[in-house]
Structure 1
Amino acid sequence: MAATLIYCYDPMCSWCWGFHPTWTKLQQSLQGLMDANQLTIQPMLGGLAVDSDVPMPDEMKAKLEGTWHHIQSALGTEFNFDFWRTASPRRSTYPACRACYVARNSGLEEEMYHAIQKAYYLNAQNPSNLDTLMDCANQIGINTEGFTKAMQHVKDKQLIEQEIQQARQLGLNSFPSLAVLVGDKLTPIPLDYHETTSMLHAIKKALS
């Protein structure tokens, strides 16, 4: 029976950005299992914050900027702190989640995920805004007119909300999260932000 490794994430989760290099290495280490059809990787969107046009309160801005500093000192992750001065942040990650969902239909979910992360964390652009997400779509070769129509469709049909509900039912409530699903048995995989060995061991154990 083929197993599924679920990766639950939010494109605007700063810990997911911190995990990105190790996650990339882990996927490379799992390539043999994927080539042998023993494992598939299934991304699942977590949905940190619902749609909102309300400017983020100063207290929350300071808290999140503090989280960025903490991740930078703990993991060496690069951040552009100008975002907190120039970007008029809102507590709203659903638009960025929808963009990844739309890109999934073109086989470009991971590319969209990384384009959003770079726009947000390195270029101080705001992925809560449609123009930023259109820019990301354009960068990875998705037609922007088709993209905006698909974004509206995903919103109207509440497709993100359905996926988030599915993640919650599986107990995937923090981001990033990893879990192996074999049949109806779900095994959470403890994260290591620094190296892949323990996660690789836990995944292979869940498969056996």
Structure 2
Amino acid sequence: MCSWCWAYQSTISQLKQQLPGTIQFEYLLGGLAADTELPMPPEMAQKIESIWRQIEQQLGTQFNYDFWRDCVPVRSTYPACRVVIAAGFQDSYEAMLLALQKAYYLRAMPPHRLETHRQLAQEIGLDVAQFDKDIDSDLLNGVFDDQRSLAKSLGVHSYPSLVLQIHDSFFPVDVNYTSTEPTLKQIRELIVSHWH
């Protein structure tokens, strides 16, 4: 739910298609902001809105600023992470990820609210009854805890981040928002120097 992840959306889609066939791409949810219903302090909301404007100017990424007028912003991304995992249980991980980003950035829908999640689950064709069961399950919370722990152990502190695993070693990879080429070059170099 970080606005820079939205800014990276089209580049990461291209990158996934261009990766060497030997590389398996996996998403990992880092969590970012824990559960809360407290409204975002006004200065934080202004700061995030100004980041949207900065991204829009730099990269041309689209944002719907009605969000800041029509919604009460809450800095809580754990619910969105759980929703993506629940959708993943129905083979719709990426569909939900994109639906959530679009809901927040383009449709001015609050990304932490259950009504948003249920509407998106319906729109992308999930079994909503199953989704409702999964969203609060111990299994889902266990998966989410594991993903957060793994992200932390990989040294991921900002979003988006890329990490390449070769055997049992992990290498941070630079994120480039406008081109896949520098990322692919770095990945190729890492493979050549560490694959044995």
Deviations along 1:5-51, one digit per CA (max 9) or x if unpaired, are xxxxxxx1100000011111111112xx33xxx11011100111000
- C-alpha contact 2:122 2:128 (8 A) present in aligned 1: yes
In 2: Cα distance, 1:178 partner to 1:156 partner: 24
In 2: Cα distance, 1:108 partner to 1:156 partner: 15
Q: Unaligned regions of 5+ residues in structure 1, if any?
A: 1-11
In 1: Cα distance, 2:138 partner to 2:180 partner: 34
Runs of 4+ more than 3 Å apart: 154-159
Partner of 1:7: none
- C-alpha contact 2:86 2:140 (8 A) present in aligned 1: no
Are residues 111 and 154 of structure 1, via their aligned partners in 2, closer, same or farther at CA, if it must alter by over 3 Å? farther
Partner of 2:40: 56
Deviation at 1:158, TM superposition (A): 4.4
Q: Which amino acid aligns with 1:18?
A: A
Higher relative contact order (CA 8 A, sep 6+): 1
One of 92, 95, 105 as aligned partner of 1:121: 105
Q: TM-score, normalised by structure 2?
A: 0.93
**Between the two proteins, what is the percent identity of the paired residues?**
39
In 1: Cα distance, 2:16 partner to 2:3 partner: 20
Deviation at 1:113, TM superposition (A): 0.4
How many pairs align?
192
Deviation at 1:100, TM superposition (A): 0.8
In 1: Cα distance, 2:75 partner to 2:138 partner: 20
One of 162, 170, 180 as aligned partner of 1:186: 170
Q: Secondary structure at the match of 1:45?
A: coil
**Greater mean alpha carbon deviation, residues 155-164 or residues 185-194:** 155-164
Q: TM-score, normalised by structure 1?
A: 0.88
Q: Secondary structure at the match of 1:43?
A: coil
In 1: Cα distance, 2:114 partner to 2:143 partner: 18
In 2: Cα distance, 1:88 partner to 1:112 partner: 22
Q: Secondary structure at the match of 1:41?
A: coil
